[in-house]
Amino acid sequence: MTSSTPPKLSKKEELERLKRRGPLQRRERVRLVLLTAGLGLAIGVFLYIQNRPLDKDDFRLPGPITEDQAGPVDVVFPPVDIDELAEAKDATASERLVLESLPFSRLLSLSQSLHPGHLDAIGSPTLDFETVEANSKEIRGTPYRLRGDVKDLRIQKRAVDGPEETWTWIRTDEGKDFFYVSLNPPEELFGSDGMYVVVEGFYYKIYSQLIEGEKVTAPLLVGRGLRPSVHKDPPATNLDFALLGRVKDDVFGGRTEIEDAGYWHLLNFVSTLATDEKRYDEEFDNAVHFDKKLLLALAADPAPYRGKALKLYGKPVLEWSEASPENPQRLRFGSHAFLNKYEFGDQFVRIAAPSRDAFKGLGLRHELLGYFLRMWAFEDKEGNQRRTPVFVIAGVRERKIETSMLESQIMQVFLTLFLVFVIGFVYLIRRDKKQAQQAIIELRERRKRFKK
């Protein structure tokens, strides 16, 4: 047998063979670098998720929700011809007995375009009866909103071929009289407060007329028509549980509007609460969080929880504002929204507050403070009958988001692994480099000996 000698390798080939024999080959180093970078990226993503803002920071400052949160809104008013109204005179007793036909008829016709929303948009101004005589000329054609008890109502024609006009003598809560004329007879007057009405109208002049033999002189306004109203409630400093006990919950297929006596009482209470910072804080210091367990309890038997103070949060799926109907709190607008929490699945929560745009910009970083009112039924887009709890919201604050023990442990494990990988990687690279250098030195020494 003859033994074959391996081919002699060049210097370059010897170096390559030594590198391949090294404890950490190039592929292994690349894999280790990628693994370490991936772990670092995972930690970065985890930290970003933990510390990112939950929502856009465009929500109003935390605190009680107040009625004057939103500013005025520009609306289009019916164009009043002030020059034409200059024909109206009321400086003397004889002038107050005359009703100037043309300017009065035109303003009366124009007033049919004056809606409650016009007065809402400018803050619901009311007539100052103390200064009306001195400023009658300057305020002619100005819109006002007034409330009071009907003292006299009659429908009449001032001309044979003219329209029927509804003339009403009204007395305010302060005992001030005024006349109100419209082209629309009242469709409904008798409410819970009898003949108590609210009107919107343009001021025309001070006018005198005989009513059942009595001469009555009072400001005259013209407008769209009478609307039923209710007397204003005093501020509610405490919850009226007798009233809340009369609140009815909806059943499936039996939906009613949420604006009942209990709803207005809760809005009254939270509006009053907004003026007392200490009481506001005390109300919610020990309030419980609204969770799935409490949701199921409300659905099963809501009555025992009526008026309960709660803290809740959720992602708004729909929010809107709307003009409030005539109410005992004189609230002009209400804000509404549907919230969803991941733990509730497809179950929504409805919230309401005494203001316009109170929930605009609301997000998961905000905690709402409110009171449970009732269960409300509705039909979703798929035609399914649903029930949802309704809460009246008193205010909002920043939500404290605590990191769970599990999240902390996960973070510690990630950081430990990352540190181990970095230290191990540096150690292996340095060892590999040192061994490679030592191999090169040994190769050079062997070549020197071979040459000798």
Report which of residues 51 and 411 the model is more confident about.
Answer: 411
> Given a cut of 50, is residue 57 above it in pLDDT?
no
Task: Tell me the pLDDT band of 188, cut-offs 50, 70 and 90.
Answer: confident
* Mean local confidence (pLDDT), 134-151: 96
Q: Give the pairing type, strands 309-312 and 288-289.
A: parallel
Name which of 40-49, 234-243, 314-323, 376-385 the model is least confident about: 40-49
Quote the CA–CA distance of 385 and 398 in Å, as a whole number: 34
Task: Tell me the pLDDT band of 411, cut-offs 50, 70 and 90.
Answer: low
Q: What is the DSSP letter of 156?
A: E
Show the 3-state SS of 20-33. HHCCCCHHHHHHHH
Ordered DSSP codes for 220-286: EEEES--EE--PPPPP-SS--HHHHTT----BTTB---S-SHHHHHHHHHHHHHTT-HHHHHHHHHT
Structure tokens given for 113: 């375009």
pLDDT of res. 251: 83
* Mean local confidence (pLDDT), 140-166: 92
**Tens-place pLDDT, residues 318-335:** 999 998 999 999 998 899
> Given a cut of 90, is residue 381 above it in pLDDT?
no
For 380, counting Cβ atoms within 10 Å of its Cβ (0-12 exposed, 13-18 middle, 19+ buried), the class is: exposed
- Name the percent of the chain lying above pLDDT 90: 51
Radius of gyration of the chain (CA): 39
For 177, counting Cβ atoms within 10 Å of its Cβ (0-12 exposed, 13-18 middle, 19+ buried), the class is: middle
pLDDT of res. 407: 52
**Tens-place pLDDT, residues 117-128:** 999 888 899 999
Quote the CA–CA distance of 424 and 26 in Å, as a whole number: 16
pLDDT of res. 429: 67
pLDDT of res. 10: 60
Report which of residues 5 and 371 the model is more confident about.
Answer: 371
Name which of 153-157, 297-301, 405-409 the model is least confident about: 405-409
pLDDT of res. 382: 79
> Given a cut of 50, is residue 275 above it in pLDDT?
yes
> Given a cut of 80, is residue 226 above it in pLDDT?
yes
- Name the percent of the chain lying above pLDDT 70: 73
Half-sphere exposure of 410 (CA within 13 A, CB side): 11
Structure tokens given for 186: 């009242």
Other CB atoms within 10 Å distance of the CB of residue 5: 5
Give the predicted TM-score (pTM) of the model: 0.72
Q: What is the DSSP letter of 5?
A: P
> Given a cut of 70, is residue 339 above it in pLDDT?
yes
pLDDT of res. 4: 52
If you average pLDDT over every residue of the chain, what do you get? 83
* Mean local confidence (pLDDT), 341-357: 89
> Given a cut of 80, is residue 19 above it in pLDDT?
no
Task: Tell me the pLDDT band of 1, cut-offs 50, 70 and 90.
Answer: very low
